[in-house]
Amino acid sequence: METQSIAKNLLYQRKLKGYTQEELSERTEVTVRTIQRIEKGDVSPHLQTIKLLATALEVEVSDLLPLENPKEENIQKKWLLLLHSVPFLGFIIPLANILLPLFLWIHKREDNKLYDIHGAKIINFQISMSLLYVISFIALVTIEKWGFFLFIAVIPFSVIIMLYNIIKVVGTHKCYYPLALPFIKASSSKPSGTLNVFLVMLIGSFILTSCHQEEARGIQRLDGSIITKDSLTDKIESLTRLANVTGLTVSIFNQDTLAYQKAFGYSDYKQKDSLQLNQVFYGASLSKSVFGYVVAHLVKDGVIDLDKPLQSYLDTPIPELFFEKEWKGFKNLAGDKRYEEITARMCLSHTTGFPNWRWISRIGEFHPEGKIQINTDPGTRYSYSGEGIRLLQIVIEKITGRGLEEMAREIVFDPLNMNMTSYVWQKRFENNYCLGHTTDQKTIEKDIPDEAGAAGSMETTAVDYSKFLEHILSLTSQGSPIAQLTFSPNIEITSKMQFGPESLETTPENEKIGLNYGMAWGLITKTPYGKAVFKEGHSEGFQHYSILFPEKHMGVLLMSNSDNAESIFKELLEITIGDKYTPWEWENYIPFDKK
């Protein structure tokens, strides 16, 4: 009779029934001591003893007696192969190289002495290699040259040893794991206290190492490449210096959240005051994107219809609306009934036919008389217009009986904790704002608007506006109706340039990127990374740009208090997130070294 096989069968059947050795003894005339000796393989029991045990366990005698089993060897090999192979999952699942073999060892070590011995050696090796990996990472960042070689050697060494033992165990049932420290021993009843303490330390070290690795990985770009934060900072500093950009903030989003944010240069070049992230910028046309978000909520709530003519919401014809400052009115439209066709969608997508501002012609010439006019049929052609945004603001304020600032605060600023953002100047902004600068870095006196203007009166910070962009990214990830409404294409853009004489010329070039316009946001509908949405801001002394790639959960915000900033936008977009799709020529973002 093979005592080891009887021992294994008895142990298996007893555990299957859930009996302790004492409980099994009580159900038979066999003493606890005898049962212990049988299960250890120290004795060969009489047949009568086996019958008593089989009766108590409610099994056949044959379930305890060793039988010839040609498959037993194969089963043993499979379990050994599993034990030696599962650590490879550690390359996919953190710490699986230790925890999975540990789990198997705890559950199988009493079934076969081989499982006990091999399992202990595997676990010891994996713990040792994990510890060595942590040490090698520390060496990588602290020891030049040799630290690097140690770091790159650990994983190949581990893989070679693991593959060697998988091959060896099939033929010989033996294994060899060099450099393994004896954290656990075969035949121990449970993992030692030392092992438990070490596992806690190892997990903690792994988390810290992962955090350092994530920091070292830096910023992920659209094509999957990585740029370290230090390298990115160095490149930005170099660009701002070469192009004489007075001040700049760069905010980058990975996985819908802020991954990098830094301020460069000065808030006041004359005083040499360093620019801070929480300083207030004049937001210029970034005001429009926030307004578009407010309107989207009003559309969702049924307050206004995007495609219903604005005139239908008013009792007074638009040309007859009263304004304390007459020049702000629309009297000049009295003889042009096309104003009756203008809708909210046209205002937000810049297809009203209005010029950008009444005192600036379509080709950029200044007209001090400032007479408003419709240059093209509403809804037919893209032509950027602050006047159209302003008209929509006026109508919405009349519909709701509420001011823009009040609505924006309720819908956007307060919910997103944008405490340093407002369409009107706030006392808290005093002594905490940056000045605009000319191309030769002369400061421009602060201009404070006398009323809220959706087209361009918003003051904000890089910190606050980043909260807004994070929210927009989150909404698109959730498939929000607000995001779908805001970023639905409204009009193909065929103009050669956005402003100036060439804005009157058409070109097929924009078709390559699917240049379009949504609700106060520009759209790039054809990129390998899905739709991109952008919004720029431009005024004397301030130049801003933001672009998001919602399907990649990625984006960037550039805010500057310099008239030179747009000359580095093209390269900034490429080095930050790998954006090569922004229509920089259409935007007139000509690089400083090509002017």
Q: Report the 3 state secondary structure along 126-182.
A: HHHHHHHHHHHHHHHHHCCCHHHHHHHHHHHHHHHHHHHHHHHHHHHCCCCCCCCCC
Same domain, 277 and 212: no
pLDDT score recorded for residue 202: 52
Asked which of 63, 84, 101 is the last residue of a domain, the reply is: 63
Same domain, 482 and 361: yes
Same domain, 54 and 81: no
517-576 pLDDT, tens digit per residue, is 999 999 999 999 999 999 999 999 999 999 999 999 999 999 999 999 999 999 999 999
Kind of pairing, strands 491-492 and 515-517? antiparallel
On the 0-12 / 13-18 / 19+ scale of CB atoms within 10 A, 568 is: buried
Using CA atoms, how far apart are residues 450 and 429, in angstroms rounded to an integer? 15
- CATH number, domain containing residue 46: 1.10.260.40
> Does any domain span residue 221?
no
Using CA atoms, how far apart are residues 80 and 104, in angstroms rounded to an integer? 10
- Mean pLDDT for all residues in the chain: 88
Residue 427 pLDDT > 50: yes
307-352 pLDDT, tens digit per residue, is 999 999 999 999 999 998 888 899 999 999 999 999 999 999 999 9
Asked which of 25, 44, 63 is the last residue of a domain, the reply is: 63
Same domain, 15 and 144: no
**How large a percentage of the chain has pLDDT more than 90?**
59
Written as six digits, the tokens of 342 are 């203008």
Residue 3 pLDDT > 60: no
440-492 pLDDT, tens digit per residue, is 999 999 999 889 999 999 999 999 999 999 999 999 999 999 999 999 999 99
> Does any domain span residue 222?
no
pLDDT score recorded for residue 460: 98
pLDDT score recorded for residue 13: 79
Same domain, 336 and 399: yes
**How large a percentage of the chain has pLDDT more than 70?**
91
> Does any domain span residue 310?
yes
> Does any domain span residue 296?
yes
Same domain, 105 and 20: no
pLDDT score recorded for residue 16: 77
Same domain, 543 and 476: yes
> Does any domain span residue 430?
yes
Written as six digits, the tokens of 135 are 């040490």
Written as six digits, the tokens of 16 are 């299957």
Same domain, 568 and 424: yes
pLDDT tier, 243 (very low <50, low <70, confident <90, very high otherwise):
very high
Map tokens 């603001």 to a residue. 393
82-136 pLDDT, tens digit per residue, is 888 889 888 888 888 888 888 888 888 777 777 888 888 888 898 988 888 888 8
Using CA atoms, how far apart are residues 127 and 180, in angstroms rounded to an integer? 8
Residue type, 587: E
Residue 73 pLDDT > 90: no
pLDDT score recorded for residue 298: 97
Q: Going by C-beta distance under 8 Å and a sequence separation of 6 or more, which residues neighbour residue 338?
A: 353, 374, 377, 378
Same domain, 508 and 543: yes
> Does any domain span residue 231?
no
- The pair phi, psi for residue 107, each rounded to 5°, is -90, -15
Same domain, 112 and 171: yes
Same domain, 182 and 279: no
**Domain interval for residue 29:** 3-63
Q: What is the pTM of this model?
A: 0.68
Count: domains in the chain: 3
pLDDT score recorded for residue 201: 55
Residue type, 245: V
Asked which of 216, 247, 268 is the last residue of a domain, the reply is: 216
> Does any domain span residue 228?
no
Q: Going by C-beta distance under 8 Å and a sequence separation of 6 or more, which residues neighbour residue 398?
A: 313, 314
pLDDT score recorded for residue 450: 86
> Does any domain span residue 206?
yes
Same domain, 262 and 189: no
pLDDT tier, 205 (very low <50, low <70, confident <90, very high otherwise):
low
- CATH number, domain containing residue 518: 3.40.710.10
